[in-house]
Structure formats: structure tokens, C-alpha cells
Amino acid sequence: MTVRTYLDHAATTPVVPAAIEAVARQLGAMGNPSSLHTSGRAARRVVEESRELVAGLLGAKPSEVIFTSGGTEADNLAIKGAYGARVSPERNRVVISAIEHHAVLDSARWLAARDGADVVEVGVTAAGHVDLDGLAGAIDSRTVITSVMWANNEIGTAQPVAEIAELAHRAGALAHSDAVQAVGHLPVDFAASGLDLMTVTGHKLGGPVGLGALIARRDVGLTPLAHGGGQERDVRSGTLDAAGVAGFAAALQVAVSRRDDERARLEGLRASLVDAVLAGVPDAVVHGAADPGERLPGLLNVELPGCTSDALLLLLDAAGLDCSAGSACTAGVSRPSHVLLALGRTESQARSALRFSLGHTSTQADVDALARALPDTVSRARAFSAATSG
């Protein structure tokens, strides 16, 4: 069996032992957290203790934590829920950046198509920083909500979230940020950020898939996306997954406790990864912010001219290396990255990029494996591209 090299932690990262133990412990217990009997109350206790832990680690109040099935649901609830609760004839604008995750981007576009929302997509610089002047011009008295992700999932660039929240509040608008990639890698404090709404998820930081949260200030009204039992402040009905909640909280605790040391370690590995890529492919183009303080520590998006990402992925996969061409949420759909297009890259350039992302199990051996495989992979991909285009 081929030993695989995993360089796709931004898609999902291996579950940490503490989360596995927390999930296994709760899976062996009985009780619906909404039931009033002893077993139900025991399950509820696990949920509420986990809620308190999550809140404390993210700079929030326990009552602000709304558990969801993950980042996509939380983003949908933030954008659609806030819009539904606050829309009026005088206020129907949604302002987002052009490089948002599709969970935000498509939610906003759905509101435009279904409800006539005035959606404004603000551009970014070549490094992926949102155009703050453009954002300030777009946010006005008609704006219901603005959403700019804390750190981009494809290129890693981080945004000045507190400054963006202040711009929104000056116009009486709500501020939301998708912090899915940022949590565990960058300092994330909900209260200090000034945000009204923030999205987080478990499986990006070593927790189980299928559990995340929307952090929402108590005074922010949200229209539910689903109706039923009235759980989670009556905005997210459904039986709570006590085991998943416990695993999420445990993983978050591990990630936050190790964050500073891990950030330094991953920055070192990323620097080694950049050197390896440029040594093997000198004309490669690195995307995203150059300043380590303005990006995720373990993510590298690189353009490999003369190749297609599809061919590169298949060849690297055959060589035992896992990476991606962008967000895993759009896997299987062959189209250029909207993020790279927003940076000003052409369709051809955007179709030649790969994302390598490091995480808590990454080592120098993973970087070395890519260094050995990449030159031949690029050479074969270029030959294939030349033959098929001729």
C-alpha cells in the first residue's frame, strides 16, 4: 500500500485524539439533549459545557453560540437569516467580497434571484486584500449585512475584520465573517472583532465533520432556515448532536492551546514548501499576501504555467500526494477559481493553480515528498497540455 502524503488540510484535517475520545465517550451514552429525563439532562449537560468552552475559546458568550451542521449551514443562516429578519423597502443591500466561500457567495446570489436583494461584490487587490475604499463606498444606509471572510480558504490572505465591522456599523449594517479557516491558526476573538455574526466549523481544526457554529450576538434577529423543535434560540431546530458538539469543543481547545507554536512551525514548513516549489518550477507564481502577519501560516496557492490543475492533481495523486485546486466544496466541477479570477488572473492562469495546505500532522517529510515529485509532474503535465492543445 502506498504511503500517502497529505497536503490538503484546508479541506479537512485529521481528527485529533482528544476529539475522538470525546465523541466516543458520548456515543456510548444515552439521551436526547432536549429530553427532560435524567439521560436527556446528562446529554444536555455535555452540550452546555461544550458551549461554554467554545464560547470562552472564541471570545464569545455561551448564549451567542448556535450549533450547526458546519460552516455552510452557519454561513447560510447568517446571510439569509439576517437578511430575512431585517429587510425592508429602504434596506435590501448585501455587501460581500468577490472572494467569499461559495456558502456566502451563493447565499447572497440566491437572495438576489429570489428576493430581489441588491448584492454588491467588492473587488480585491492582487494579493487578495479587500478594497476597503470600495467596501466603504458600497456599505450605506440600504445595507442589511456585509460579509468578508477572516482568512481566504484558497489563497490564505487575512482581512482587517475589526475595521470592516466598524465600516458596517457606521451605516447601521450587520457585520459577518466566515472564520472557518482562521480559527486555530490566527487569533480569533469575537467580542474584540466587533462582529455581529461569525462562522466556525469543527473539521478544519481536528474535530468531527458535521458540526460547526454560528456565533451571533443576542440582539441580532435571525429568520430560521428550518422549523421544528425550536432548539438553538429557535433559529436552528433539530436534535443536537451531543457527541459531535463534544468533539468540536475538544478539538477547538487543542487547536487554540497550540495555536502560537503551531503557527510558527507551519510558517517554517510553508517557507520550505515555497523553496521546494520554486526550485523545481522556477516560473511558478505564488498567490496571496506575502506578509506572514496577513495570511494563514500553512497554506500555499501556486500557479504552475503551462499546466492544468486537473492534470497536475491526477499525476500527483498517482504519486501518492493529496492536494487540491481550490475549495473542496466545489470538487468535481471543472471551472476556474473565482478567487483567482478576482485577483486579476486569466482563466488559463486560474486553471493552472494548485493549493497545498499544511496542518497539525504535517512534517518536513511531506514537503520533501512534494519536492521530489513536482518537477517530473509538471514536466508531464506540460507535455500533455502541449499535445492536447496542438
**What 3-state DSSP class applies to 272?**
helix
C-alpha span between 220 and 83 (Å, rounded): 11
Domain with CATH 3.40.640.10 in the chain: 17-253
What mean pLDDT do residues 323-336 have? 68
Say what the pLDDT of residue 387 is. Answer: 83
Q: What integer pLDDT is reported at residue 3 of this predicted model?
A: 82
Residue 190: which of 61, 91, 294, 100 has the closest Cα?
61
Q: Taking the CA atoms of the chain, what radius of gyration do you get in angstroms? A: 21
Rounded-to-integer distance, Cα 315 and Cα 342, Å: 27
- Among 195, 205, 71, 202, CA closest to 145: 195
Residue 3 has a CB neighbour count (10 Å cut-off) of: 7
Predicted pLDDT of residue 380:
95
Query: Hey, how many other C-beta atoms are within 10 angstroms of the C-beta on 294?
Result: 18
Residue with cell 484535517: 13
Q: What is the CATH number of domain 5-13+259-389?
A: 3.90.1150.10
Where are the domain boundaries for CATH 3.90.1150.10 in the chain? Answer: 5-13+259-389
pLDDT in tens, 38-53: 999 999 999 999 999 9
What distance in Å separates the CA atoms of residue 214 and residue 176, rounded to the nearest whole number?
A: 10
Answer whether residue 27 shows pLDDT above 70: yes
pLDDT score of 364: 98
Closest residue by Cα to residue 291 from 164, 156, 89: 156
Options 3.30.429.10, 3.10.180.10, 3.40.640.10, 3.40.50.300; CATH of 17-253: 3.40.640.10
Strands 174-178 and 285-287: unpaired
User: Percent of the chain at pLDDT above 90?
Assistant: 94
Sheet order of strands, 65-68 included: 65-68, 212-216, 197-201, 174-178, 143-147, 93-97, 118-122
Note the pLDDT tens digit of each residue in 104-152. 999 999 999 999 999 999 999 999 999 999 999 999 999 999 999 999 9
Q: Which tens digits make up the pLDDT trace of 144-170?
A: 999 999 999 999 999 999 999 999 999
The whole-chain average pLDDT of the chain stands at 95
CA geometry: angle at 245 spanning 327 and 96, to 5°? 40
At residue 385 the predicted structure's pLDDT band, cuts being 50, 70 and 90, is confident
Residues with Cβ within 8 Å of residue 237, at least 6 apart in sequence: 224, 226, 227, 228, 229, 230, 231
Closest CA to 199 of 52, 77, 38, 299: 77
Largest Cα–Cα separation, the chain = 72
Catalytic residue among 112, 132, 329, 341: 329
User: In the predicted model, is pLDDT for residue 282 greater than 90?
Assistant: yes
Which residues partner with 201 through β-bridges? 212
Is residue 329 among the annotated active site residues?
Answer: yes
pLDDT, one tens digit per residue, over 300-326 is 999 999 999 999 999 999 999 999 986
Assess contact for 135 and 148: CB atoms under 8 A. yes
pTM: 0.96
